[in-house]
Amino acid sequence: MNRTVLFTSIGIGVAVVAVAVYFFFFRGAAAGNADAENSALIRRVVKAERKDLKIEVSATGTVQPIFKVDIKSKASGTILSLKLNEGDFIKRGQIVAMIEKTDNLSSYNQAKANYDLTMATLKQVQTSTERKKDLFSQKLLSVEEMDLAALELERAKAQLVSARAVYDQALTRLNDTSVPSPIDGLVLDKPVDEGQVISSATSSVSGGTTILTVADMRKVFINAAVDEVDIGKITIGQPAKVVADAYPDESFSGKVLRIDPLATVEQNVTRFAVVIEVDNPNYRLKAGMNTTVTIVAADRRNVVVVPIEALRDPRNPPTAAEGGAVAGGGQGRRGGGDAQSGQGGQGGAQGNSNRAERQGSGGDGQGRRDFASLPDSIKQKIRERRAMRDSVMSAVASDSAAGRPMNKRVAMVKDASGDFKPRLVEIGTTNYDEAEVVSGLVEGDELQITTFSRARMQGQQFRQNIQSSQGLGGNPQQQRQVRQSTR
């Protein structure tokens, strides 16, 4: 009898300890995890503001002249005079170099002498022909002799034309020894100097020797490389601000002139070349300078603006933080405690609400039972969320069918009762931080932003583990559960 009582007492003791361990390590741990996750939710409220919104795209680029010319000589020979240097300004038609002209001058003198002789010969033949005409009229000259005189006159005229062509060609070659500038501009490069022998640009297979490189720098190009994620925001004619590395405190105004249709890929990064035209009246920008370009893709004035993090794409499912904020009124994210014990019951109701919403009141039996067991306030929020979801999906389908861009977003907006409820809004211009609201919000509307901090959750779990390792004094809920189980 005593042995039976002893075994019974030992069995009861073991059962009590097992129940205590279960509540402490499993139920209590679940409640602790729920508390840790709840503490990791960060909620803050922002207001819709009315202000200016500017969308800018930044890129780097280099300065390039709009019009650049390599000046070459048509004449070959030694450079006798070249007094210009890099950076000098020259005018159109200004003689920039003189080439040795000894051979060309000799050819010119010979051609001129031949031309003068041919002209004198023509005059003599013309005089002789006139006399022969008088004799022929007096019948003192035969027809054959008159025909020979006319032929001699035509031959003299042809010789004069040929001599004139040779003379003009020799004169041109002589003039080619003086090299003029074809444009107004700055000397960018001077690859040769006086005394160097150069080849002709017209008779050399290599294309001739470059004497000077001249560019018109009153306006310049900025060749900028824009990332493909930003290229869709850029159009021709948009204003741009250019800051050169050499002048960090000075900006130059320009506009987008051209967008290359073919991308370049470097180190797995795709970029498009965008050309910006910039006025350079004081020639401050030099060819080859590195610059930073800021293109104003959009400039919206006096519009309603909200933080981009307060908006959610309706095509994406809500995050866990948003789900808890909507279903549980911001009190919890999942059911981890006993449905009969205070805060754990609230978490359990919220966990059931999330499951009930996923399955729907018209789903399986478990979904209907979960929905029916929820408080009326949470049921109402589920119905409102379902109605909002249907409205959003209808709007998304309508935009998709019409081929319109998807510019609908969902925001948690404070209503007249003080609760934050989802609302469909239409957005316009956006940047990485803010978005323009076209419809759905007015200035002063309050929006809730819910974020999840994993660091805060891990910190809370760490504190709970420390408290648990010190005994039952750590978690009040665990204390209550263990005390109830040991009674």
What are the pLDDT digits (tens) for 127-158? 888 888 888 788 877 888 888 888 998 999 99
Whether pTM exceeds 0.85: no
Helix (H, G, I), strand (E, B) or coil at 198: strand
Asked if residue 423 lies in contact with residue 438, where contact means CB atoms within 8 angstroms, the answer is no
> What is the mean predicted confidence (pLDDT) over 99-118?
92
> What is the mean predicted confidence (pLDDT) over 460-476?
59
What pLDDT was estimated at residue 260?
Answer: 93
Alpha-helix residue ranges (DSSP H) falling in 373-453: 376-402
Q: Please tell me the least confidently modeled range out of 32-36, 85-89, 372-376, 460-464.
A: 32-36
User: Distance (Å, rounded) from C-alpha 61 to C-alpha 293?
Assistant: 7
CA nearest neighbour of 393 among 436, 424, 362: 424
> What is the mean predicted confidence (pLDDT) over 78-85?
91
What pLDDT was estimated at residue 265?
Answer: 93
Angle between helices 365-372 and 342-359 (to 10 degrees): 140
What pLDDT was estimated at residue 244?
Answer: 94
Asked if residue 212 lies in contact with residue 96, where contact means CB atoms within 8 angstroms, the answer is yes
Q: Please tell me the least confidently modeled range out of 47-51, 60-64, 204-208.
A: 204-208
User: Distance (Å, rounded) from C-alpha 362 to C-alpha 200?
Assistant: 91
Whether the per-residue pLDDT at 242 is higher than 80: the answer is yes
Provide long-range contacts, Cβ within 8 A and 24+ apart, for 97-103.
Answer: 97/71, 97/73, 97/178, 97/179, 97/211, 97/212, 98/177, 98/178, 98/179, 99/73, 99/75, 99/176, 99/177, 99/178, 99/179, 99/198, 100/177, 101/75, 101/77, 101/174, 101/177, 103/77
| Residue 471 or residue 416, greater confidence | 416
> What is the mean predicted confidence (pLDDT) over 290-304?
91
> What is the mean predicted confidence (pLDDT) over 39-56?
82
> What is the mean predicted confidence (pLDDT) over 211-219?
92
CA nearest neighbour of 311 among 146, 441, 476: 441
Which residues neighbour 373 within 8 Å (Cβ) at sequence distance 6 or greater? 349, 352
User: Distance (Å, rounded) from C-alpha 149 to C-alpha 377?
Assistant: 128
User: Distance (Å, rounded) from C-alpha 212 to C-alpha 87?
Assistant: 11
Percentage of the chain lying above the pLDDT 70 cut: 67
What pLDDT was estimated at residue 281?
Answer: 82
Q: pLDDT digit string (tens) for 255-268?
A: 999 999 999 998 89
| Residue 315 or residue 419, greater confidence | 419
What pLDDT was estimated at residue 370?
Answer: 61
Kindly list the domain boundaries of the chain, sorted by start residue: 35-51+306-486, 56-64+221-303, 102-175
CA nearest neighbour of 47 among 425, 305, 424: 305
DSSP assignments along 86-108, one per residue = TT-EE-TT-EEEEE--HHHHHHH
Superfamily of domain 102-175 in CATH is Helix hairpin bin (1.10.287.470)
Per the listing, tokens 């499993």 go with 26
What pLDDT was estimated at residue 450?
Answer: 80
> What is the mean predicted confidence (pLDDT) over 62-80?
91
* Count of CB atoms situated within 10 Å of the CB of 324: 27
What pLDDT was estimated at residue 272?
Answer: 95
Question: If you compute the radius of gyration of the chain from its CA atoms, what whole number of angstroms results?
Answer: 47
The pLDDT-based confidence of 170 (bands split at 50, 70, 90) is very high
Whether the per-residue pLDDT at 462 is higher than 90: the answer is no
Asked if residue 198 lies in contact with residue 97, where contact means CB atoms within 8 angstroms, the answer is no
| CATH class held by domain 56-64+221-303 | mainly beta
Q: Please tell me the least confidently modeled range out of 160-174, 239-253, 328-342, 439-453.
A: 328-342
What pLDDT was estimated at residue 309?
Answer: 86
